Amino acid sequence: MNIIDHLSVGVSSVAEGTAFYNEVMATLGYDLIVATDGFAAYGKGAPQFLLMTPYDGRLFSAGNGVHIAFAAQSAQAVESFHQQACNRGGRCVGKPDNRPAYPKTDVYAAFVRDPFGNKLEAIFNGFSA
């Protein structure tokens, strides 16, 4: 059993969020499972990552020090994720590369910020490998 049921990030608009995430998540083999006006859920078979407009109706904010790491099946998937994210309005905050400072020496990862400021990582050979 996974320790985390699902993760979510805040967005100003689910439509704008899915315009970014649909293709970006597809690079890692994850599907859009359900979308409403208030949220969109991605995963493989079950929702695990959600975009949401804040339930309290206030403005969303990206958490400082928070990032979400998506498991990638290959270094090429990491590169595709990074390229697709940057092509769709994301901002590079760490080009695809080996990460020798990580606890595992064969880690390959990339970091981006989505158009809403949320920090995302695609990682091959991470903790879940």
Residue 108 domain-assigned? Answer: yes
Residue 85 domain-assigned? Answer: yes
Report the CATH number at residue 39: 3.10.180.10
Residue 37 domain-assigned? Answer: yes
Residue 26 domain-assigned? Answer: yes
Domain ranges, residue 114: 7-54+66-124
Q: Per residue in 22-55, pLDDT tens?
A: 999 999 999 999 999 999 999 998 899 999 998 8
The number of folded domains in the chain is 1
Residue 129 domain-assigned? Answer: no
Residue 2 domain-assigned? Answer: no
Beta bridge partners of 59: none
Q: Are 73 and 29 in contact (CB under 8 A)?
A: yes
Residue 104 domain-assigned? Answer: yes
Which of 70-74, 77-81, 101-105 is predicted least confidently? 101-105
Residue 3 has pLDDT above 80, yes or no: no
- Quote the CA–CA distance of 77 and 110 in Å, as a whole number: 10
Question: pTM of the entire structure?
Answer: 0.88
31: three-class secondary structure by DSSP: strand
**Above pLDDT 70, what percent of the chain?**
98
